[in-house]
Amino acid sequence: MFTSKRYDFLIVGAGLTGAVLAERLASQLGRRVLIIDRRAHIAGNAHDRLDDFGVMIHQYGPHLFHTNSSDVWAYLSAFTAWHPYEHRVLAEIDGQCVPVPFNISCLHSLFPKAQATRLESLLVRRYGMERKVPILKLRDDAREAQDLSKEDREDLRWLADFIYDKVFHGYTTKQWGLTPEELGPSITGRVPIHVSQDDRYFQDTYQALPQNGYTALVRSLLQHENIDLETSASFVDAESTVSFDHLIYTGPIDEYFDYSHGELPYRSLRFDFEHITEPFYQQATQVNFPNTHDYTRITEFKHATGQQSDGTTIAREYPQAHVRGENEPYYPIPLDTSRRLYDKYAQEVGKAGRHVTFAGRLADYKYYNMDQAVGRALAVFRKQFAA
Ligand SMILES: Cc1cc2nc3c(=O)[nH]c(=O)nc-3n(C[C@H](O)[C@H](O)[C@H](O)COP(=O)(O)OP(=O)(O)OC[C@H]3O[C@@H](n4cnc5c(N)ncnc54)[C@H](O)[C@@H]3O)c2cc1C
């Protein structure tokens, strides 16, 4: 499978992290790079493809690109044109679809006019427009703020409890298999109410999808004469047969160290795709179901990609426990115990030697948005290889 060529770099993982590093090393430093992935495709979890009905789908869940980094945006723009897209998410609450994060228009959709107007006026007075206020803050104010009337405190408490119970509790419990209480206030306290009429999910400066998809973007990153690519090729095979000077490893850090401290816990997902012979299925790319069904959300890709097609494809997303070898590790579990276990592996990194670099969501055991993964890869390149 592998050629007998000698490489400066072996990069394990052809996701965004590996692809950006490969591109930089090849184009900026003229290094010879072999990049491998054990999956049969490139682009890692951002992989997209046409399904059997010709509809563009995201195989590992909806991927919406958004960033405030002009550097990351400019860098990627050299490899793709963009399809402008601003993500909007609806949640089904008490039989009605309302925007999330919970915002001012939700008050008016869900509550009687007088109550909605009173709550809106209280939020604007207290926090100002265009602010995201964590519901923990609403609760603290309801308990402690001396400058609020008794009615205002009761309203804040009631609203925080409503959002927590109807929007957050059920979704979080399904998503993590843990109750918000088990996850702790560092997660639960961050759920915001958006004091705004802006119903976009992200407020970042740049929001778009690569015009021809993420797989095409990664293919374009890897289109350099100094880069060789092997898919369906795992690190254990390459390590013993390929000759290279430096290893960049974007796979799971616990796997690299033979699980010597135990397995890092992840949450996994199952996606059930369904093709429907109607132009559209739902009102938005994403509809969340916090309190009904076993799935957390339904994604309809056409809304995001802008593709014109007679039919449409949706994915229902079922969170599940991660079992190594049986399903994919998606989200690091946000518990102190996981972080402490990761720290043990992080201490081993030095022992792997100066010729090994770890980067990416699996190697850093960290949830990165795509722009953060790209930003991290660019930073690693600058600090470690270009300096
Ligand atoms: C459900 C879901 C939805 C998401 N939605 C968004 C979103 O809307 N917007 C956003 O910005 N981000 C989103 N993300 C995050 C995004 O997927 C990551 O930022 C991105 O995938 C990180 O790229 P990476 O290269 O670090 O990791 P990955 O994409 O995981 O790539 C790592 C690659 O390494 C390969 N590999 C691992 N071990 C080995 C080995 N031993 N040998 C060979 N190959 C190996 C894997 O097969 C994989 O292809 C989402 C993530 C998930 C899980």
Instruction: Compute the C-alpha angle 125/92/95, nearest 5°.
Output: 105
Which of 45, 86, 232 best tests ligand 1's pocket when mutated (most atoms within 8 Å of CB)?
45
293 within domain boundaries: no
Please say if the pLDDT value at position 8 is more than 80: yes
Q: What's the gap in Å between 383 CA and the centre of ligand 1?
A: 23
Which of 63, 174, 240 best tests ligand 1's pocket when mutated (most atoms within 8 Å of CB)?
63
pLDDT grade for 39, boundaries at 50, 70 and 90: very high
Please say if the pLDDT value at position 187 is more than 80: no
pLDDT of 5: 84
Boundary residue ending a domain (165, 195, 225):
195
Question: Is residue 85 lining ligand 1, measured as CB closer than 6 Å?
Answer: no
Q: Are residues 151 and 190 in the same domain?
A: yes
pLDDT grade for 181, boundaries at 50, 70 and 90: confident
Average pLDDT over residues 3-21: 95
| 258 three-state secondary structure | coil
Boundary residue ending a domain (195, 225, 253):
195
In the chain, the number of structural domains is 2
What whole-number distance in Å separates Cα of residue 162 and Cα of residue 172?
Answer: 15
Helix (H) and strand (E) counts in the chain? 15, 20
Q: Are residues 215 and 349 in the same domain?
A: yes
Tell me: the pLDDT tens digits for 220-278? 999 999 999 999 999 999 998 999 999 999 999 999 999 999 999 999 999 999 999 99
List the domain range (segments joined by +) for residue 378.
6-87+206-265+332-386
Q: Average pLDDT of the chain?
A: 95
Q: Are residues 121 and 229 in the same domain?
A: no
Please say if the pLDDT value at position 383 is more than 90: yes
pLDDT of 342: 97
Q: Are residues 76 and 220 in the same domain?
A: yes
Closest CA to 266 of 245, 251, 277: 251
The helix or strand, by DSSP H or E, that contains position 104, with its residue range, turns out to be helix 104-110
